[in-house]
Structure 1
Amino acid sequence: MSTENNLAKKKRRSQKIAFGIFTATSYAIVGLLFVILAFIVINGIGVISWEFISAMPENGMTEGGIFPAIVGTLCLVLVSMVFAFPVGVLAAIYMNEYVKDGWPKKIIKQMTNNLAGVPSIVFGLFGMALFVNKLEFGDSILAGGLTLGLLVLPVIIRTTEESLKAVDDTFRQASLGLGASKWETTSKIVFPIAFPNIITGLILSIGRVSGETAPILFTVAAYFLPKLPTSIFDQAMALPYHLYVIATSGTNIEKSRAMAYGTALILIIIVLISNLLANALRKYYGKKVKMN
């Protein structure tokens, strides 16, 4: 009995130590996030004003506002998501619901995983070669948005696949047993149940697209363009590239650095608002699924 008690005590002790490490790691990550946010807010809040948000840049971006960069970023996010989200979701549905297990499916999954690990600057070079030069879109919102869409496509595919796998097979079997076709089962039963979790991929993609610099460097970003784009074939400013330029410029370093922190804060706020809206959408559809 004493031996069994000692073993039980050791297991409980080991479990407490493991949980303690996990808890400390989680709090450390959250604490680091708050430190980064606090650093950006403290250094950038003094620059934020209505003029900074709504005005055009002046004097080589050392004065004025960042309104064209905000509009350009929103346009790039919209174009990239309009392209990547439906394509990624449809690809994941095909992979999970229609392709049988075997070596072709394994190869496609492996290629998708490899694509997720490709550096963003490689996507930028590919986008420049294909969209800017080959398809002759030029440096434009369309070329930059499509390049960013390709960048986040693997994320959307993987998160959608995992969301579809989480749907219980009994739903599929019951639907097919009642005479529904494969497409009807997928579109009317499986997809609505998985959709709240699929939006997770949308949230992650918006966050990544908003902050990427390398892909837009070759496809759309303008150094100084104090006007708004009028179509998707226009060049545009973007917050990540704007932030990079003013942070590394050699003129009026103190003022440029303050504007860089302000730009970073605006970028974080845009990503936060986008995530909150996507989360609200996920909760809305999650409630609809529960009600049905």
Structure 2
Amino acid sequence: MISRQKQDALIKSFIWISAFITVGVLAWILIYIISNGISEISWDFLTNDAKGKNAGIFPMILNTLYLILLSLAISTPIGVCSAIYLVEYAKAGKIVRVIRFATESLAAIPSIIYGLFGMIFFVIALKLNFSIVSGAITLSMMVLPTIIRTTEEALKSVPNSYREGSLALGASKLKTILSIILPSAMPGIITAVILSIGRVVGETAAVYLTAGMVPRVAGSIMESGRTLSVHLYILAKEGISFQQADATAFVLILIVSIINFIANKIASRLKRI
């Protein structure tokens, strides 16, 4: 029979091996993308339009940022307010069960189904056409489960003594939520936003079917525009240039890393307040 110390050593070894495998896979992907795409990275590649001999990805970078900002502007208030209701106001019952069922269902739906729904409802039925706003609304539905569940956990982590102390001092329920609970849970909410950004940036099928693939800067949210993920897909699918596809993937990872770094810095400062 294996002793308790050996069991602990085996479990610890398994944990370390799993961690190294995870880091190794990430490093392998990054090294592959950087080594194959770094030769295509240049100022012209980052600032030129997508047409011509020296085609660039500048329109796709801007369209991606538009899509991130608009989809988060739609989904974050809805997701945070839903989480506040579930944690602070709702009592166990049919309404809560329906909301949780809807959240779990949204999380389980494949992205291509979101894309088909967005194309049929937003693009065709509502006549929004292939546009940034169609893509943003579709993506906002996709990231809602992430924002709701992560924000719920952040709100639950706030000690009940904070709530009790605020209410004992005469503050209303709403004042307590806005002034005490939300600031305390803000790092967790920012984590939800970071996870949502990763989902929005990396999505292809839903964006392809709603925002379109026009390789120019969208003049407004009602115009179509190609994102970096869609551009990467087209470059690889049509065999235009696998090096440019790797370079686009590198830029995509870089943008996500920069946004995550900024968000983490904001979360760290909020923790100190």
TM-score band, normalised by shorter chain: over 0.9
Cα separation, 2, equivalents of 1:277 and 1:130:
35
Out of 37, 42, 48, the position equivalent to 2:35 is 42
Out of 243, 247, 254, the position equivalent to 1:258 is 243
Matched to 2:23, the amino acid is: V
Gaps of 5+ in 2: none
1:99, CA displacement in angstroms?
0.4
1:281 pairs with 2:272: no
Matched to 1:261, the amino acid is: D
TM-score when normalising by structure 1: 0.90
1:209, CA displacement in angstroms?
0.2
1:109, CA displacement in angstroms?
1.3
Measured against aligned partners, the alpha-carbon deviations of 1:46-100 in whole angstroms (never above 9, x if no partner) come to 00000000001225xx741111111111111111011111111111111110001
Cα separation, 2, equivalents of 1:118 and 1:192:
32
Matched to 2:109, the amino acid is: V
Matched to 2:238, the amino acid is: S
Matched to 1:242, the amino acid is: H
Q: Which runs of 4+ in 1 moved over 6 A?
A: none
Gaps of 5+ in 1: 1-6
Cα separation, 2, equivalents of 1:16 and 1:28:
18
| Count of equivalent residues | 273
Larger Rg: 1
**Equivalent residue number for residue 219 of structure 1:** 210
1:133 pairs with 2:118: no
Measured against aligned partners, the alpha-carbon deviations of 1:28-63 in whole angstroms (never above 9, x if no partner) come to 10111011101100001000000000001225xx74
- Give me the CA root mean square deviation: 1.5
Cα separation, 2, equivalents of 1:136 and 1:169:
48
TM-score when normalising by structure 2: 0.96
Percent identity, aligned pairs only, is 42
Cα separation, 1, equivalents of 2:207 and 2:79:
21
1:25 pairs with 2:18: yes
1:185, CA displacement in angstroms?
1.1
1:57-136 equivalences under 5 Å are 57-59=50-52, 63-136=54-127
> Helix, strand or coil: the match of 1:112?
helix
> Helix, strand or coil: the match of 2:129?
coil
